[in-house]
């Protein structure tokens, strides 16, 4: 859905700084899986879905402490997730 370099730009990490590429890639993959498991429709061409992946990735990147210091999901991200959960493909009923 998004590349490691797209995520790094969103995180404001220089593209030539590759030390954290593996971690960023893992966060992107985890964000996509998290959203799918939450019932979100993830169309790879949907900018809203891409933004949700980026926002979840940055949230986890900035809250990497193992215990209790992570903030709750930002309202904007939670709102995107809710919308993506209720999206449907064109021609598909919205029930």
Cα-Cα-Cα-Cα dihedral of 33, 34, 36, 39, to 10°?
Answer: 160
Residues 5-47 pLDDT 10s:
999 999 999 999 999 999 999 999 999 999 999 888 889 999 9
Residues 40-95 pLDDT 10s:
888 999 999 999 999 999 999 988 876 655 567 776 787 888 888 887 655 454 44
Distance CA 24, CA 58 (A): 9
Q: Is the pTM of this model over 0.85?
A: no
pLDDT at position 69 is 54
Degrees, nearest 5: CA angle 61-64-69: 125
pLDDT at position 23 is 96
């Amino acid at each position: 859905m998004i590349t490691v370099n797209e995520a790094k730009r969103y995180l404001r990490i220089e593209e030539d700084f590759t030390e954290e590429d593996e971690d960023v890639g893992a966060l992107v993959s985890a964000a996509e899986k998290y959203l799918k498991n939450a019932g979100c429709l993830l169309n790879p061409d949907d900018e809203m879905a891409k933004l949700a992946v980026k926002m979840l990735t940055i949230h986890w990147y900035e809250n990497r402490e193992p215990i209790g210091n992570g903030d709750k999901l930002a309202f904007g991200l939670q709102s995107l997730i809710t919308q993506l959960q209720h999206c449907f493909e064109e021609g598909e009923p919205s029930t």
